[in-house]
């Protein structure tokens, strides 16, 4: 099917008389045509340019293709409003600088650079990569990096592929998307800040469906309350206005960690228990009794040794029957805690190996 640039040959589409409805039909057709083309002669990259409408259509096509396929979008939306277009995919966004209207000395260079970038990517593209190693997904932040690094390196040494995701909203959503698309041996959700922020209105919420993908699919899940000690807010003045009377740590000029207390920790426990109640596979929890993150440590600014044991007590009281909650007499970044997570992953992996 060929579009001539107007709608004369598409009376049904013209009759919709609404650009959004028309675009929905066009997007569905564009995705279908792109995949039909790929089946006939595999493509090595996708390059597009446009404003908000063109970007919406083109990135929908891009998001329908697998990770690794080069995708470059030249767009007027790339100066700061990209999340709805990129989603959880590996799309390179190039700021058009000028409107997509003719070619001038700036747009000429922008278009050239994007085309050359895509050409380089496509030249090196050898098709989607496949790995026979069992896959483990980890959610973490820099404040629990020592733990996640130990887990990652140990599992890689034992023959696993490990993907680590930065749990600032999009990271958790991407982890969940990978679960939907690929066979996963286990998920180690050792950073719960996205759940905290969903409940408390923080900046890093991943939405109401965070963690549901693995639980619904029956993938073994290990939860640890990493970073449960804070909610993420904006600059310090904004944090004080939105979360008055709390303890604050100025992480940087743009972000403030706001200390959670028992009301917030109970809400987190209730949420985790509610999610786990619908699990179709094994779930276990590990709670470090000496602190949840770098901030919640003797060297941090939000340390409170009284809260992890209280959290563990409440969590155990609301968990579904039969779900184990392991208390460890250490900090989340201490080696024994990482060793416990590693051992649990190995136990789950061994249980899933066919006899």
Is the pLDDT reported for residue 140 higher than 90?
yes
Q: Where are the domains of the chain?
A: 15-124, 135-352
Percentage of the residues of the chain whose pLDDT score is greater than 90: 77
Q: Based on the number of CB atoms within 10 Å of its own CB, is 226 exposed (0-12), middle (13-18) or buried (19 or more)?
A: buried
Asked if 295 contacts 249 with a C-beta cutoff of 8 angstroms, the reply is yes
Mean of all residue pLDDT scores within the chain: 92
pLDDT in tens, 269-296: 999 999 999 999 999 999 999 999 999 9
Q: Give domain 15-124's CATH superfamily.
A: Uncharacterised protein family UPF0261, NN domain (3.40.50.12020)
Is the pLDDT reported for residue 334 higher than 80?
yes
Query: Which whole number is the average pLDDT over 310-335?
Result: 97
CA 307, chain centre distance (Å): 28
Is the pLDDT reported for residue 23 higher than 90?
no
Asked if 349 contacts 134 with a C-beta cutoff of 8 angstroms, the reply is yes
The C-alpha angle with vertex 193 and arms to 203 and 135, in degrees rounded to 5, equals 120
Alpha helices in 132-286 (DSSP H): 145-157, 170-181, 193-200, 212-217, 236-242, 262-276
Q: What is the pTM of this model?
A: 0.82
pLDDT of the residue at 4: 40
Structure tokens at 191: 């950073």
If we measure between CA atoms, which residue out of 43, 348, 15, 298 comes closest to residue 184?
Answer: 348
As a whole number of angstroms, the distance between CA 175 and CA 329 comes to 29
Percentage of the residues of the chain whose pLDDT score is greater than 70: 95
pLDDT in tens, 215-237: 999 999 999 999 999 999 999 99
Q: Based on the number of CB atoms within 10 Å of its own CB, is 129 exposed (0-12), middle (13-18) or buried (19 or more)?
A: exposed
Helix (H, G, I), strand (E, B) or coil at 250: strand
Strand arrangement of the beta sheet that strand 230-233 belongs to: 230-233, 256-259, 248-250
Task: Report residue 158's pLDDT band, with 50, 70 and 90 as the boundaries.
Answer: very high
The widest CA-to-CA distance across the chain, in whole angstroms, is: 72
pLDDT in tens, 337-355: 999 999 999 999 998 754 3
Task: Report residue 1's pLDDT band, with 50, 70 and 90 as the boundaries.
Answer: very low
| DSSP H or E segment with residue 315 | helix 307-318
Q: Between helices 262-276 and 307-318, what is the axis angle to 10°?
A: 30
pLDDT of the residue at 5: 45
Using alpha carbons, list the distances in angstroms from residue 339 to 155, 188, 225, 241, 334.
11, 13, 16, 40, 9
Using alpha carbons, list the distances in angstroms from residue 242 to 28, 51, 207.
42, 35, 19
CATH number of 135-352: 3.40.50.12030
Better pLDDT: 206 or 126: 206
As a whole number of angstroms, the distance between CA 62 and CA 294 comes to 38
Task: Report residue 159's pLDDT band, with 50, 70 and 90 as the boundaries.
Answer: very high
As a whole number of angstroms, the distance between CA 21 and CA 115 comes to 31
Query: Which whole number is the average pLDDT over 304-325?
Result: 97
pLDDT of the residue at 207: 95
pLDDT of the residue at 341: 98
Query: Comparing 15-124 with 135-352, is the CATH topology the same?
Result: yes
Q: 11: which residues sit within 8 A by CB, 6+ positions away? A: none
pLDDT of the residue at 10: 63
If we measure between CA atoms, which residue out of 209, 304, 309, 310 comes closest to residue 263?
Answer: 310
**DSSP label of 142:** G
Is the pLDDT reported for residue 213 higher than 60?
yes
- Lowest mean per-residue pLDDT among 13-22, 40-49, 50-59, 234-243: 13-22
As a whole number of angstroms, the distance between CA 212 and CA 87 comes to 18
pLDDT of the residue at 128: 72
Is the pLDDT reported for residue 165 higher than 80?
yes
135-140 and 186-189 as β-strands: parallel, antiparallel, unpaired? parallel
């Amino acid at each position: 099917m060929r579009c001539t640039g107007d709608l004369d040959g598409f009376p049904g589409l013209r009759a919709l008389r609404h650009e959004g409805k028309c675009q929905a039909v066009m997007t569905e057709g564009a995705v279908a045509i792109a995949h039909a083309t790929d089946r006939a002669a595999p493509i090595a990259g996708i390059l597009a340019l446009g404003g908000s409408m063109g970007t919406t259509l083109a990135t929908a096509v891009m998001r329908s293709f697998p990770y690794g396929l080069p995708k470059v979008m030249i767009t007027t939306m790339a100066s700061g409003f990209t999340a709805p277009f990129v989603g959880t995919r590996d799309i390179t966004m190039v700021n058009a600088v000028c409107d997509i209207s003719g070619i001038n000395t700036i747009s000429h260079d922008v278009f050239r650079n994007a085309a050359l970038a895509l050409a380089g990517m496509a030249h090196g593209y050898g098709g989607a990569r496949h790995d026979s190693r069992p896959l483990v997904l980890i959610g973490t932040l820099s404040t629990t990096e020592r733990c996640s690094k130990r887990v990652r390196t140990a599992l890689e040494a034992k023959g696993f592929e490990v993907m680590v995701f930065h749990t600032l909203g999009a990271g958790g959503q991407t982890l969940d998307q990978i679960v939907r698309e690929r066979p996963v041996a286990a998920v180690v959700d050792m950073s719960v800040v996205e759940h905290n922020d969903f409940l408390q209105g923080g900046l890093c919420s991943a939405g109401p469906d965070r963690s549901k993908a693995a639980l619904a699919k029956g993938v073994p899940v290990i939860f640890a309350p990493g970073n449960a000690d804070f909610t993420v807010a904006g600059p310090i003045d904004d944090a004080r206005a939105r979360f008055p009377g709390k303890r604050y740590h100025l992480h940087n000029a743009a972000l403030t960690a706001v200390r959670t207390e028992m009301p917030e920790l109970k809400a987190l426990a209730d949420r985790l228990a509610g999610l786990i109640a619908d699990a179709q596979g094994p779930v276990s929890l590990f709670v470090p009794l000496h602190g949840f993150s770098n901030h919640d440590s003797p060297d941090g600014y939000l340390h409170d040794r009284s809260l992890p044991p209280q959290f563990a007590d409440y969590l155990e009281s609301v968990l579904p029957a039969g779900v184990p909650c392991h208390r460890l007499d250490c900090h989340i970044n201490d080696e024994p805690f990482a060793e416990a997570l590693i051992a649990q992953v190995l136990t789950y992996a061994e249980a899933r190996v066919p006899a």
